[in-house]
Amino acid sequence: EEPFSALDPLIRTKLQDELLQLQAELKKTIIFVSHDLEEALKIGSHITIMEGGRIVQTGAPEDIVLRPANDYVRDFIANVNPLSVLTAWNVMRDRRDLEQGEDGWVWLDRRKTTRFKIDEHGLVAAAERDGKPAVWVSCADVERQPEEGAQVFWANPGTPLKTVMLAMHRSQTAPVALFDEGSRFVGAIGIRDVLSAVLRR
């Protein structure tokens, strides 16, 4: 209980990271008691919040942040930065909800800057940004890419939302495409989707 509470921030962060690495290697369940919500959100795959000795909500960190069960939980998480827990999956629009164009094209954003042609297997056959063929850029590589040329940023659903937002900033708020492990297009994130997710708290 509260094993890291008396440590300075740098050592505390290092020990939290080491605990996560140890848990991943050992694949054991660890029950960790903390009054520090940021710490709980960082190291917990599931979090239980208690009030007066009673459980008021249990869930994944993003569920707690996006869907607080009552006013107590809502007040408890009021000062949490949602970018610390949200992933691309939490805010994406499903591919089926995107606007369909002609000849198999799908618009990724409401401003119609970026579109894909999708084949019958959900794979992207062609990509355009502002009417020009686009180069694929991973959100994870955003800092290492040249500025010039039409680019389409992509991510997988587990990519941290903060990483997605950096790519949007780099591309002047163009949408980010999401792909599953089979390289199938599953959805997109626009700036409005990000703002809605953050503000609906």
The per-residue pLDDT for range 101-117, each reduced to its tens digit, is 888 899 998 888 899 99
Q: Identify the sign of the CA torsion 68, 70, 73, 79.
A: positive
**Whether the Cβ atoms of residue 127 and residue 134 lie closer than 8 Å to each other:** yes
The per-residue pLDDT for range 43-59, each reduced to its tens digit, is 888 999 999 999 999 99
**Whether the Cβ atoms of residue 18 and residue 50 lie closer than 8 Å to each other:** no
3-state SS, residue 129: strand
Q: Which of 61, 85, 109 is the last residue of a domain?
A: 85
Whole-number Å distance between alpha carbons of 145 and 155: 15
Domain shared by 74 and 165, yes or no: no
Domain shared by 110 and 176, yes or no: yes
Domain shared by 59 and 109, yes or no: no
Domain with 174 in it: 89-199
Domain shared by 127 and 160, yes or no: yes
pTM of the predicted protein model:
0.69
Pairing of strands 151-155, 54-59: unpaired
Domain shared by 128 and 194, yes or no: yes
Domain shared by 94 and 178, yes or no: yes
Domain shared by 95 and 194, yes or no: yes
Domain shared by 117 and 183, yes or no: yes
Tokens 């903390």 correspond to: 34
